[in-house]
Amino acid sequence: MSGTALAVSQATRQAPSEIAALWRFFRRYRGGILLITLAAVLIGVLIALSLPPVYRSTVTLLIEPRSERVVQVAEVYDPTRGGSEEYYATQNELLRSRGLATRVVDKLDLANDDSFLKDTTNESLLTSLQRRLDWKQWLPGLPGQPEATAAGSPEQRRERAIQRVMGQVLVQPVPRTRLVRVHFHSSVPELAQRVAETIADAFIESGLESRLEATQRANRWLTDKLGGLSADLQKAEKALQEFRDSNQLVVVGGNRGMLDQEVMDNTSRLREAQRTKAALASTYARIRAAGNDPARMEQITALLADGAVQKVRSAVLDAQQVLKQVEERYGARHPQMASAITSLQAARRAFHEQLLIAAEGVRNQYEIAADTERQQSEVVAGATQRARMLDRKQFELGVLERNVQTNQQLYNMFLQRFKETDSTTNYEALNARVTDAALVPKSPLLPNRPKIVVMAALIGFLLGMILASLRHVLSEGLSSVEDLEAVAQVPLFGLVPKVAFKRGAGVIGQFRNDVKTPFAEGVRSVRTAVRLAEVAGRRQCYVITSAVPGEGKSSLAACLGMVLAGTEKTLLLEGDLRAPSLRKMLSVPKQQPGLMEVLLGSATLDAAIYTDEASKLDVLTVNQRPPNPAETVSSMAFAALLDQLRGRYERIIIDCPPVHAASDALMLARLSDAVLFVARADVTPAATVRRALHQLHNINAPLVGCVLNRVDVRRNPDAYGHYQYAYRYYG
């Protein structure tokens, strides 16, 4: 088999067990659970009957954004400019607003309507219960609880009415639509219809009034704003004109163009003068350095380049050539030599004079260029300064013009908005309308009495289950056969049910008189278990003990002895020397001697043994209590007596004291063949049983089995396996 199939199989096997465990848990605590559920149902019925009837009237509104305007302009006032979700959320809040509630109260005069002010729709559950449970109202002739009064000042009555309207209205948007359902709740159906209808009308009217008021307010504001803008525009235009007049600016662009051309021309002249001066600067410097020295002037190239200088220089050269020819031809003393020399000297003087004239010309040109440069520099600087002044004026003019332009634009825009707003003042389309009118409700919406009762029953059942779970978790008693077996670690010999005995009969009396009771069957099942447990060897002497008193071990010992006495010679020995109970239980005569008399030798064993006629059970009870029970049961005399009894009886049942009550139980357990431990169901704590069994194990007591006594099978039948069927059969 695969792992998945195995898991499914295990889950299938485990599911019924969990359901069965839950069913057993419910059956065990069903009384308390059903009682709590019934109490919750009664409370639910009381609450359902106490709540006043509430009627709901509904009006459906279609809310749309503002429709198309005649003039398309930017909105002066329009609540639809936000997102659609924000707009519809705002409208829903307006439907729940105090302002709308005030309109409704004033329109319907609800402040003077006593029936509305005494409406119990918003009445708390506690107040409603107090009013319903007032016992005075059920007794004639007695004044009942005074009714809620609507007295108070007009302001208080109006405020109370407004609060009631706000508290009883419910706005419910229809998802993914523009529809909104407005509900109004009231204990009077006609009033619910009137208020719901008025809420819708007041909402539509308030929307129209708010738009009209906002438009009128916008018109007033625009009118005031236009007046201010007009004054600002006139002031700006006046400042512009005054600036033009004061600066004599007619066409700013033409003035600046002529000034720019003038600056360019003067700059060109300045550069020309600077070039001329730079070209003559070197020659001028050499001329000044040469002074009037002809030799040094002849070395100045710029002077030699002059046309007049070159002409007279040619004359000097010609005179030199003539002088050379005369000297070669006629000699130095020839009269023509003097004439030639005189001509050469005259030519040289002319050459030197022309150099001086050329130098003076260069000097004059340089000085003229320097003067021109200086003058043009001043002219250019002046023109540049005027251009800068003109730029500043142009900047100021531009600021004034922009100011005028801005004021003109603002004025035109506000004038246009004013005209458009004024055009739309008398045209305001509705943004909400009623699609389904409010009707008078025929039946109340609340309270839903069947639902309240069912919910109360469910809550009561859950509360009962929770309390039962807490009781089950906090319970220390042995609630099932499995609990006892897990603690004792020995087989369970039987389960003895708890039965209601008839008055005066007692346990033994009813056991004798009715052998078909579940109690009798439980005792017989213990007897059967005792015999079946002797497969490995017969156990003659049985000690029956428990952890604490009150477990029912004495009754079980007596009844078990009676059952065994039917087939075997049996003795019931009372080993509880501290608190003996068998004498009274079995109605043994008071003069009958007992165990202590036999041990002390004041009576014979035969005289002390009492035989029950109905069951043929021999009983050795305690008549006289010893001063030290522990020493008595551990004495040699008691051991010898027990050996003597072993020789006379097939079965000896010793009713032993509880383990935790005295140490006698441990002594008797060591002297017995088997120990049968008795625990009381749902009462004896598991920890107490565990400690008692631990003591028995420490002395190696022959513990062979356990019995769960006084089991309430009716209360928890599923916790005790097949014993419930025996109870049903015999019960």
Nearest to 605 by CA among 641, 635, 575, 577: 641
> CA angle, 480 as apex, 479 and 486 as ends, to 5°?
110
DSSP state of 54: B
How many Cα atoms within 13 Å fall on the side-chain side of residue 605? 14
Q: Say how far apart CA 49 and CA 51 lie, in whole Å.
A: 6
pLDDT over threshold 50, residue 4: no
Identify the weakest region by mean pLDDT among 375-379, 380-384, 721-725: 721-725
Residues of the chain with pLDDT > 70, as a percent, come to 71
Q: Say how far apart CA 143 and CA 139 lie, in whole Å.
A: 9
Identify the weakest region by mean pLDDT among 321-335, 517-531, 636-650: 321-335
In this prediction, residue 72 has a pLDDT band, given cuts at 50, 70 and 90, of very low
CATH superfamily of 475-730: P-loop containing nucleotide triphosphate hydrolases (3.40.50.300)
CA distances from 539 to 75, 641, 649, 675 (A): 110, 18, 12, 10
Tell me how far apart the terminal alpha carbons of the chain are, to the nearest angstrom: 47
Tens-digit pLDDT profile for residues 412-448 = 776 676 666 655 555 445 578 888 888 888 888 777 7
Contacts of 400 (CB under 8 A, 6+ apart): 236, 239, 240, 243
Contacts of 55 (CB under 8 A, 6+ apart): 185, 186, 187, 188, 189, 192, 441, 443, 444, 445
DSSP lists the bridge partners of residue 677 as 545, 706
* pLDDT for the residue 719: 47
DSSP state of 511: H
Q: Where are the domains of the chain?
A: 55-116+152-288+377-445, 475-730
Tens-digit pLDDT profile for residues 635-677 = 998 999 999 999 999 999 999 999 887 888 888 988 899 999 9
Q: Do 543 and 675 meet the contact criterion of CB atoms below 8 Å apart?
A: yes
**How many residues would you count in the chain?**
731
* pLDDT for the residue 23: 77
Cα 422 vs. chain centroid, distance in angstroms? 50
In this prediction, residue 382 has a pLDDT band, given cuts at 50, 70 and 90, of confident
Q: Decide which of 499 and 179 is more confident.
A: 179
Contacts of 517 (CB under 8 A, 6+ apart): 499, 510, 511, 730, 731
The residue assigned the tokens 């509430």 is: 54
* pLDDT for the residue 569: 92
Instruction: Give the best-scoring range by mean pLDDT among 17-31, 73-87, 138-152, 625-639.
Output: 625-639
* pLDDT for the residue 510: 75
What does DSSP say about strands 610-612 and 55-63: parallel, antiparallel, or unpaired?
A: unpaired
Mean pLDDT for all residues in the chain: 76
Question: What is the sign of the dihedral through the CA atoms of 482, 485, 488 and 494?
Answer: positive
What does DSSP say about strands 179-186 and 432-436: parallel, antiparallel, or unpaired?
A: unpaired
Q: Say how far apart CA 36 and CA 329 lie, in whole Å.
A: 175
Angle of the 98-108 helix axis to the 84-95 helix axis, nearest 10? 40
DSSP string, 315-329: HHHHHHHHHHHHHHH
In this prediction, residue 226 has a pLDDT band, given cuts at 50, 70 and 90, of low
User: Which tokens hold the place of 699?
Assistant: 């002395």
pLDDT over threshold 50, residue 12: no
DSSP state of 52: P
For 724-728, which contacts have Cβ atoms below 8 Å and span 24 or more sequence positions? 726/518, 726/521, 726/522, 726/525, 727/497, 727/518
Contacts of 253 (CB under 8 A, 6+ apart): none
Average pLDDT in the 583-611 region?
A: 89
User: Which tokens hold the place of 476?
Assistant: 């220390």
CATH number 3.30.1890 is the correct assignment for the domain at 55-116+152-288+377-445:
yes
- Judge residue 273's burial from the number of C-beta atoms within 10 Å of its C-beta, 0-12 exposed, 13-18 middle, 19 or more buried: buried
* pLDDT for the residue 480: 66
Q: Say how far apart CA 137 and CA 147 lie, in whole Å.
A: 11
Q: Say how far apart CA 669 and CA 116 lie, in whole Å.
A: 85
DSSP state of 672: S
List the alpha helices (DSSP H) in 664-711: 664-671, 686-698
Q: Do 705 and 676 meet the contact criterion of CB atoms below 8 Å apart?
A: yes
Q: Say how far apart CA 496 and CA 560 lie, in whole Å.
A: 11
* pLDDT for the residue 148: 43
Q: Say how far apart CA 56 and CA 442 lie, in whole Å.
A: 9
- Judge residue 155's burial from the number of C-beta atoms within 10 Å of its C-beta, 0-12 exposed, 13-18 middle, 19 or more buried: exposed
Q: CA torsion, points 117, 123, 127, 129, in degrees to nearest 10? A: 120
Report the amino acid identity of residue 365.
Q
Tens-digit pLDDT profile for residues 245-272 = 676 554 444 455 666 677 777 777 777 7
Q: 569-578 burial, b if ≥16 CB within 10 A, otherwise e? A: ebbbbbbbbe
Q: CA torsion, points 27, 33, 37, 38, in degrees to nearest 10? A: 80
Q: Say how far apart CA 204 and CA 94 lie, in whole Å.
A: 11
Average pLDDT in the 11-38 region?
A: 71
How many Cα atoms within 13 Å fall on the side-chain side of residue 380? 15
pLDDT over threshold 80, residue 219: no
Identify the weakest region by mean pLDDT among 185-199, 360-374, 686-700: 360-374
For 510-515, which contacts have Cβ atoms below 8 Å and span 24 or more sequence positions? 511/559, 511/562, 512/562, 512/614, 512/615
Q: CA torsion, points 724, 725, 730, 731, in degrees to nearest 10? A: 50
* pLDDT for the residue 19: 80
Q: Do 358 and 306 meet the contact criterion of CB atoms below 8 Å apart?
A: yes
pLDDT over threshold 50, residue 82: no
